[in-house]
Chain A
Amino acid sequence: MFAYIVRRLLYAVPILIGVNLLTFILFFIVNTPEDMARAHLGDKYVTEEAVQNWIADKGYDGPMFFNNEAPGVEKLTDTVFYDKSVKLFAFDFGQSDDGRDISSDIVDRMGPSLALAIPSFLIGVWVNICVALMVLMFRGSRLDKTTVAVFVGLMSISYLFYIIVGQYFIAKVSKLVPVSGFNDGLDGWRFLILPVVISVLAGIGSGARLYRTLFIEVSGQDFSRTARAKGVSETGVLFHHILPNAMLPILTGIVVVIPMLFMGSLVMESFFSIPGLGSYMLDSIRAQDFSIVRAMVFLGSVLYITGLILTDISYTWADPRVRLS
């Protein structure tokens, strides 16, 4: 397994270079360094000299990908792309365009993101599995059909609708929790309860429907029938036979997401004023802060690759027949 992990990590290097290259190309096609400079310097009294100073200060004044004038290998290394990319691989994200240290901002914002994402994720998965198993017990009945219709309905409703309705009725009209915000420490639960509930509710439709489908497939197999024939109770069949055997596809969807929890939720954090990494990304895109976008895309790629590796590892835990080699 060790060799497998090392090999996968080595595969990750060209993927990360590719992702970074794409980000660079996309960002610089949309925005030239001059555009970025003008966006940051504002509209009033901006001189050409100030624009050029900004570009030089950010290190965008050199050749972007290929330096014709440099000798040998420096043709590739004496470029903006190389300069910025090498630091990323050392996890040195540098400074944002407004002069703040990106690493310390990421560390600062990771806490609130995890405070929202972990309970939303854990409760969400648990609720979805429970609901899917419950529905499975009534398979083929009217209740089953009605529930599937409800799931499709829930899936079809926009995430924003849940947020707006939740904020309006629970926070504004009923005054049960604060409308938005975040506090550190134990007091933070009051701010998190509504976004967590909304996340879970908004995810039930798609999550439980998916799991129900997975469970139905497993429940029709011989071992389930044998268990029932042996007299195992329905709950016993569900939790001891069907659930463990449906774990492989469930893990495929779940484990890959775990590292991504660090990245936070773009929409939820913005609506509930939670100072996490999701809103950090959104703000930086709005502000055309390429340094932050680049760092966050890189971090996202690293975490996603980590998630994929963890998923592979989790298969060996869920199914002893799987061997990584």
Chain B
Amino acid sequence: MRIKPIRTLAATITATLLLTGCSGPWNDPNPPADPEVQTYFGSFTTRPKHLDPVRSYSAEEGLFLDQIYEPPLQYHFLKRPYELEPATATSLPEVTLLNDQLEPAAEGEEVAFSRVTIHLKPGTQYQPHPAFAQNSEGKPLYLFDSASESTQYTLLSDFPQTASRTLTADDFIYQIKRMGDPINKSPLIGLMSDYIVGMRDFSKMVKEARDGDKWLDLREFEMEGLEKVDNLTFNIRIKGTYPQFKYWLAMRFFAPIPWEADRFYHNPGFKDKNLTLDWNPIGTGPFMMTTNSPNREIILEKNPNYRKDVYPSEGSAGDEERGYLADAGKQLPFIDKAIFRHEKAATSMWSKFTQGYYDRSGDGDSNINTATFDQAFTVGPDGLELTPELESRNIIVDEEIRPSIFYTGFNMRDPVVGGYTEDKRKLRQAISIVYNDQEYIDIFRNGIGQLAHGPIPPGLYGYKGGKEGMNTYIFDWDETTKSPKRKSVEYAAKLLAEAGYPNGRNAKTGEPLILYMDTTASDASPRSDWIKKQLAKINIQLEFRVTDYPRFKEKMRAGNTQMFGWGWLADYPDPENFLFLLDSRQGLVKCQCDGSNSTNYDNPEFDNLYDQVKTLPNGPERLAAIEQMVEIVQRDSPWIWGFNRKDYYLANNWVKNTKRHGISQGTLKYVRLDQEARAHQQVAWNSPNVLPLFGATGLLLAIVLPGISFYRRRQKLTIKAEE
């Protein structure tokens, strides 16, 4: 019997569907994983824009780059407060203070320069990469004169030959030179040119020497402040003293780049195929990028050449109880492969996490947001608790207060809210009292966040909690609850009257006090209404001036704002990185630049103390200066202090060593998985419910069958019957 082609086709399609999709749970979005390969499944919401370590500055890029690139230093995974430790270096850098003759400065002598000496660990190898591949004559294998010679190569994986080589001091020097090369658009070029000797001149030199897109061998250009001592040692000479420089050495801007890679990616035609260093990282870290399809997925695989690196054996209090020290001394990394998939919607990401297809509920900044909070937590008598469903699944919760601050700023150059006279201070203090940030945290941030009393967030040197750290201009200490209690609205109204606005009206003109908040958000949102209500407590009217972000930034630069919301995430865990936000030389208007002092706060006493804090090592002298600075700005109140961000991270119970780090994202190497438990629970949690399928089919038949029957009956009707 001849089978009809349509039946053959139907059978083929059915078989294909069954074979391709129905071997495991039906809703498994991940490709089948080899049980022998420890594979981590993660996600990212914003696709990375730059993967060149000298250019990248965002957290979503750090998620990948911090696993691939290794600067000289890194942060200890477990210790809090944050602590630096060597990564590719053998020890923390040695700092020698020099006079203007470049000789070690004697006691009391003015310090002109600091020499930072970095010793590297021997034998650190790069990941396998075609840039290192050589032919039998020792010449680079993949060096082309024209684009037509390399048409067969479109991806890095198309190059059959790869090789590696040992990390040397030259690679760090080369990267610092890349930082100074304007073509690489490093965000640090401005800042570092102020510190690293010769970087500014170097920038001019290479800019003039550059010939279009051709590779410029930066080894041929000297930067005065860089010196190679031997293959494993180099010096960086910086102007004056800058103790915080060590923190920059733990950031990817200072990760090594081999010159061979720079040359390789400058091959003719490579840029048109996205074969650039900006899209194809090459590092010495625990992982290497093997698939970079930022629209779909990014895959990292274990670097086979990774150096000896073991799990830490010390941690913070409570780490042992939480099992964070169980793997002490074991070689890193634990996983072989990490697949990160692009997820645009937070709800989809959350669904896949609860189905067990993502190991953690997100891998970026904070993985609990307003869209998913209610599905993760309930508020119980002891604060936040996991929902019963997640509790039954033994979901792991980690929390971290990030060194960050989100505040409402007053433009100190504004004639109404700015200024340094007592009445202006009282006006700002009155507003700060009625602006109840704790209520804001409770309503708009689901209670996640910690009220700030000053510019320095918890966990940083100089931070003080409790009664000692309380902002006495805004709060009183409540002995019964042993916590700060916001001063009364009546007291705020009294301050406002003393500021010249009794009952919210100008004492001289009788006109109501109307303030303006510049924002990019809608002025009709619940958040805006809430802010208006806060100021209305003392009869201040608030209007919102809504603009798009570029216009808002323009107004900020021109000093045409009055009040605005702003925030800062730390670059490094040092109070200097927050106090500089109030340094007048960083003032947006004063420096006519994109400075970090958004309020244009200008207090010479504060500036002098800042200069001390910037150069002093941690100790009583520095601490006293910090305390004084905090007191000054609490009194002047250029900010409504807002809150410090607290983040919650959830992980499925088969993921081990889930502790998060508030500064570094290079923690994937510590993560361990129990793949067997994952596979078992994925099947248990995802048994398909076919009832809706039958329901939909039934509904369809219920509509179609009577229709067919009616149609047939109608076809058989005769004219007589119709009449």
Contact = CB atoms under 8 A, between A and B. Distances in A.
Contacts of B27: 171, 175-179
B20 A187 contact: yes
Given A39-B549, A176-B693, A49 B344 contact: no
Residue among A54, A99, A280 facing the most chain B CB atoms (10 A cut-off): A99
A181 interface: yes
A222 interface: no
Contacts of B594: 38, 43, 45-48
Interface stretch (B117-125, B273-281, B425-433, B510-518): B273-281
Interface of B: 16-17, 20-21, 25-29, 31, 47, 49-50, 57-58, 182-183, 185, 187-191, 271-274, 276, 278-279, 293, 295-296, 341-345, 347-348, 351-352, 355, 357, 548-550, 553-554, 571, 592-594, 596, 686-693, 707, 710-711, 714-715
B691 A174 contact: yes
A249 to B, nearest CB: 25
Interface in A260-299: 270-273, 275, 279-280, 283, 287
Contact of B692 (A170, A183, A186): A170
Given A50-B189, A186-B20, A178 B345 contact: no
Interface string A179-199: 111110011011100000000
Contacts of B689: 173-176
B688 A174 contact: yes
A73 B146 CA distance: 34
A180 B345 contact: yes
A150 B26 CA distance: 32
Residue among A35, A40, A45 facing the most chain B CB atoms (10 A cut-off): A45
A234 to B, nearest CB: 6
Contact of A180 (B29, B185, B279, B714): B29
Contacts of A186: 16, 20
B91 to A, nearest CB: 28
A171 B351 contact: yes
Interface of A: 30-32, 35, 38-50, 53-54, 57, 95, 98-101, 104-105, 108-109, 134, 137-138, 143, 167, 169-183, 186-187, 189-191, 233-234, 270-273, 275, 279-280, 283, 287
Nearest to B689: A174
Given A32-B550, A39-B549, A179 B295 contact: no
Contacts of A279: 295, 344
B409 to A, nearest CB: 14
A190 B19 CA distance: 12
Contacts of B343: 180, 273
Nearest to A53: B182
A99 B279 contact: yes
B273 A104 contact: yes
9 contacts: A57-B185, A99-B279, A108-B293, A175-B25, A177-B26, A180-B345, A183-B31, A190-B26, A273-B348
B21 A189 contact: yes
Contacts of A273: 341-345, 348
B351 A45 contact: no
Nearest to B685: A175
A279 to B, nearest CB: 7
B344 A98 contact: no
Given A30-B548, A46-B593, A53-B182, 15 more contacts: A45-B190, A46-B187, A48-B592, A49-B182, A169-B692, A174-B690, A175-B687, A177-B27, A178-B28, A178-B29, A179-B27, A179-B348, A180-B352, A275-B295, A275-B296
B722 to A, nearest CB: 13
B707 A134 contact: yes
A279 B342 CA distance: 12
A186 B14 CA distance: 12
Nearest to A279: B344
Contact of A233 (B29, B596, B710, B715): B715
Nearest to A234: B715
Contact of A175 (B185, B571, B592, B686): B686
B348 A39 contact: no
Contacts of A31: 550
Contacts of A234: 711, 714-715
A54 B592 CA distance: 18
B686 A275 contact: no
List of 4 A-B pairs having minimum Cβ-Cβ separation, nearest first:
A35-B550, A47-B190, A275-B295, A178-B29
Contacts of A177: 26-27
Given A39-B550, A175-B688, A47 B29 contact: no
Given A47-B593, A54-B185, A189-B17, A174 B31 contact: no
A42 B189 CA distance: 13
